[in-house]
Chains A and B, each alone.
Chain A
Amino acid sequence: MSRFSKSVFVFALFSASTAAIAFDGYQGVGRQATPAEVKAWDIDVRPDFKGLPKGSGNVERGNELFEEKCASCHGSFGESNEVFTPLAGGTTKDDIKNGRVRGLSSGELPQRTTFTKVATISTVFDYIQRAMPWTAPKSLKPDEVYAILAYLLNLQEIVPADFVLSDKNIGDVQKLLPNRNGMTTDHGLWPGASAKKGGIGNGGVPDVKNVACMKNCKSTVQIGSTLPDYARTAHGELADQYRHFGPVRGTRTLEGDAAKPAAAANPNLELATKSGCMACHGVSNKIVGPGYEEVVTRYRGQTDAEARLIGKVKAGGQGAWGSVPMPPNGHLPDEDIKTLVKWILSGAK
């Protein structure tokens, strides 16, 4: 500070009240959070169960809730692959005993479900509470989360059908998680202090070591894999995914009609994609909402269907196909909604 003291002094002569050239905090910026505010947002639950709300719920209630709020996307038994990888399945009694899911190393697992991976039960509680159901996150009460989690644990054969899960016994359940011993932090990809210094990881030491050879580094070039034919065309016309000028061209991968950009061929489908409808509806398959062909079948011959569906798409709602609601689409121009509904009812071709 000493090299500034002279100028501070000179400045002080002009304005004695502006003495605070030395930094004195970011005054006027930010305010203390109230306890209610912290409570409203601090919803995380840690592996040591810090943050876990009090409450309880049983398997039967969980079954009802799951059927009502979760099954449409995850399947009644958490087995569905439709919107996401399955929640349940893939573990054995032995896994529960050992705390390691054998299928992960034996290659017998067709797919890694949530319970084949998770090592901390707090993770599942925390996540359901903060993010599920997907279209109505943070709508579940703690007792409902306990009940749903009890149901999932029962599906996984970790707890019996008459089990009541609560903040009191969740620690016991942790000791039965099939993959509870399945994690390691002994690697070089943690950017903080190493385990030796009280952190996690090995302090950033890489696990793979290459050397920068420059000349005659090997005698043959071994190609391990090439692009399969189906993959060459699965991403559409590559010629249209690069400029039509420049040092190279996109390779033409589709022939004839298929080469026409899909969007230009089908402005309605493009509109539906742009409007977000295709995220939840397939043309022939259900995603979150019904497939458009199902909609056509249901409303065939009903002359007032168009007007009703325009209203429904605009306002959103549930009950016609299940308990999952469609969010309102009021932000879209009326014209677009009308075009979309007409297109859907005409078979979404």
Chain B
Amino acid sequence: MVDIVKQPGLLRPAPENFLSETQVAAVAAGRRDFLRKSFLAAGAAMAAPMAARAAVEGDSNILNLPEWSTTLGKPVATNPYGMPSKFESQLLRRESPGLARVGGASVSFAPLQGLFGIITPSGLHFERHHQGWQDIDPTRHRLMINGSDDKLLKKAKVYTMDELMRLPSVSRIHFIECGANTGLEWGNVAVPTVQYTHGMLSCSEFTGVPLKTLLEDCGVDYKKARYVLAEGADGSSMTRTIPMEMVESGEVIVAYGQNGEMLRPENGYPLRLVVPGVQGVSWVKWLRRIEVGDQPYATKDEAVHYIDLLPNGLHRQYSSIQECKSVITTPSGGQSLLTQGFYNVSGLAWSGRGRIKQVDVSFDGGINWQTARLEGPIQNKALTRFNINWVWDGKPAILQSRAIDETGYVQPSYGQLRAVRGTKSIYHNNAIQSWKVVESGEVTNVQVL
């Protein structure tokens, strides 16, 4: 009995990874005739579904009941904290070799190439630490709010986690993107997959107290205090300046919850700042202190890093907003299409200035564009999933996506971005990403100007 249903139109003589587990097992078991047949099939290309099909009784996965249909499964609470399937071992946070010199001051990227929808599983949220990560005892954690000057705040206060969690809370879905996301690609293509080009990006539901609530509880004087300094409790005691306008809008949250549970230690357990639309470095983790002030602070990560070098030698300082951007995640660099035919092309769009209004996709390198479907609800400063139908005819193609946000801003091309900012600014690269598909089905990273 033949134990496979041959897929019509398999384009390539299948390398090992194009075979199903059963097919691989068949080959390993010495069924080399199968390989010969599949080469022949590939040779015959897409001509017709296998003539032999009729002679085949069917798929052994259907005809021979698998063990999971014929045995007793595992009891409840076998895993008190559930884990992904053992078959899901490929999608992991990964570092990019050569990017950083020590693991404590480095980045791990989220595997966007395999994620669905808009929420990043907490265990796959990207990481960026400057001085390693800590797992802080929440009963010993404190949040202090003070003023650079007594006149800016009626009373400096200290809050415990018990107290913060008694206050009225909000839950909101927001994206977080490192200012340096796609920074490796300012000058030229440098990395192979969307994990490394765009993986300093995640999106979660955050729960916490609006910072505004706390500042008003301390009696802030909004007239004088126009800047906020946020400071972490870890070794780096990361600090960043945030404008009071954002706090007053109610958007800035002192968060403890992430996707229904407490924050993960790598993401700032037990307390972090959420600054929607602003680059990740301002979302201070392990938040221990908020100072209100009448001047920006020029901290190391806004005076030496996270500054954008322009061609004239000046650096842009206090650049914070993540402008409108999008990327196709399926198919994307480092992947290969299996066969010609239908594909649901899928990707992510986001804007630090509000909601996504439209995403257009091109299959010919930007000559013609079609508007993609947006999966709702479309939320403020959150990832938005887009999808569009595509029938691949086996010819070379260049896939691109171009997002437009509610302010009308249209995501720019590499050419447009470089004309203004050059190629050395490291941060805030929101150019249109291009993925080239060749006849073999392999997808690679290219830059279209």
A contact residues vs B (CB 8 Å cutoff):
25-26, 28-33, 37-38, 41-44, 46-48, 50-51, 81-84, 100-102, 104-106, 112, 114, 117-120, 122-124, 126-127, 130-131, 134, 137-138, 182-185, 187-193, 198-201, 204, 206-219, 221-228, 231-232, 234-235, 238-253, 276, 278-280, 287-288
Contacts and interface: CB of A to CB of B under 8 A. Distances in A.
Contact of B102 (A50, A206, A288): A288
Contacts of B421: 207-208
Q: Which 9 A-B pairs have the closest CB atoms?
A: A192-B243, A105-B313, A221-B365, A279-B103, A189-B319, A104-B313, A127-B300, A210-B410, A225-B188
A41 B290 CA distance: 10
B318 interface: yes
B243 A199 contact: yes
A232 B196 CA distance: 12
Contact of A31 (B157, B244, B369): B157
Contacts of A192: 226-227, 242-246
A212 B309 CA distance: 28
Interface string B118-143: 00000000000011100000000000
Contacts of A207: 420-421
Contacts of A84: 101-102, 105
A241 B157 contact: no
A122 B298 CA distance: 8
14 contacts: A26-B217, A106-B313, A119-B303, A123-B299, A138-B235, A183-B307, A189-B320, A214-B368, A218-B366, A227-B445, A235-B193, A238-B335, A244-B90, A248-B336
Interface stretch (B1-9, B51-59, B326-334): B326-334
A169 B114 CA distance: 56
B264 interface: no
A279 to B, nearest CB: 3
A123 B298 contact: yes
A231 B189 contact: yes
Given A242-B90, A253-B334, A184 B448 contact: no
Contacts of B289: 41-42
A184 B434 CA distance: 31
A29 B300 contact: no
A52 B111 CA distance: 43
Contact of A224 (B227, B277, B297, B414): B414
Contact of B226 (A33, A37, A137, A193): A193
A204 B321 contact: yes
Contacts of B291: 42, 44
Interface string B349-388: 0001100001010001111111000000000000000000
Nearest to A50: B148
Contacts of B370: 214
B293 interface: yes
B315 A182 contact: yes
A218 B413 CA distance: 13
Contacts of B193: 235, 238, 241
B311 interface: yes
B315 A183 contact: yes
B417 A208 contact: yes
Given A33-B158, A100-B313, A248-B337, A227 B192 contact: yes
Nearest to A105: B313
A252 B15 contact: yes
Interface in B1-57: 15-18, 20-21
A113 to B, nearest CB: 10
B231 interface: yes
A182 B313 contact: yes
Contacts of B231: 41, 44
B170 interface: no
B101 A278 contact: no
Nearest to A81: B101
B318 A190 contact: yes
Contacts of A28: 163, 166
Interface residues of B, number: 140
A204 B367 CA distance: 30
A191 B277 contact: yes
A227 B189 contact: yes
A279 B132 CA distance: 10
B447 A123 contact: no
B131 A104 contact: no
B444 interface: yes
Interface in B59-110: 87-88, 90-92, 94, 96-98, 101-105
Given A38-B144, A227-B444, A279 B102 contact: yes
Given A191-B278, A234-B98, A288-B102, A241 B195 contact: yes
Contact of B190 (A32, A231, A251): A231
A84 B106 CA distance: 10
Given A204-B321, A210-B413, A221-B365, A249 B335 contact: yes
Given A193-B226, A216-B368, A250 B319 contact: no
Given A46-B297, A46-B298, A82 B101 contact: yes
Given A231-B189, A239-B17, A189 B158 contact: no
A134 B104 contact: yes
Contact of B144 (A41, A245, A279): A41
Nearest to A101: B313
Nearest to A87: B304
A201 B318 contact: yes
B368 A30 contact: no
A111 B297 CA distance: 25
B167 A123 contact: no
B159 A30 contact: yes
B229 interface: yes
A200 B318 contact: yes
Contacts of B131: 131, 134, 137
- Residue from B218, B317, B364 having most chain A Cβ neighbours under 10 A: B317
Contacts of B404: 212
B446 A226 contact: yes
B398 A185 contact: no
A185 B316 contact: yes
A38 B315 contact: no
A235 B300 contact: no
Contacts of A222: 448-449
Given A117-B304, A126-B300, A248-B335, A241 B18 contact: no
Contacts of B214: 30
A243 B447 contact: no
Nearest to B103: A279
Nearest to B158: A33
B5 to A, nearest CB: 15
Contact of B449 (A102, A114, A214, A224): A224
A215 B336 CA distance: 28
Nearest to B413: A210
B217 to A, nearest CB: 6
B398 A221 contact: yes
Nearest to B334: A238
A287 B102 CA distance: 8
B158 A243 contact: no
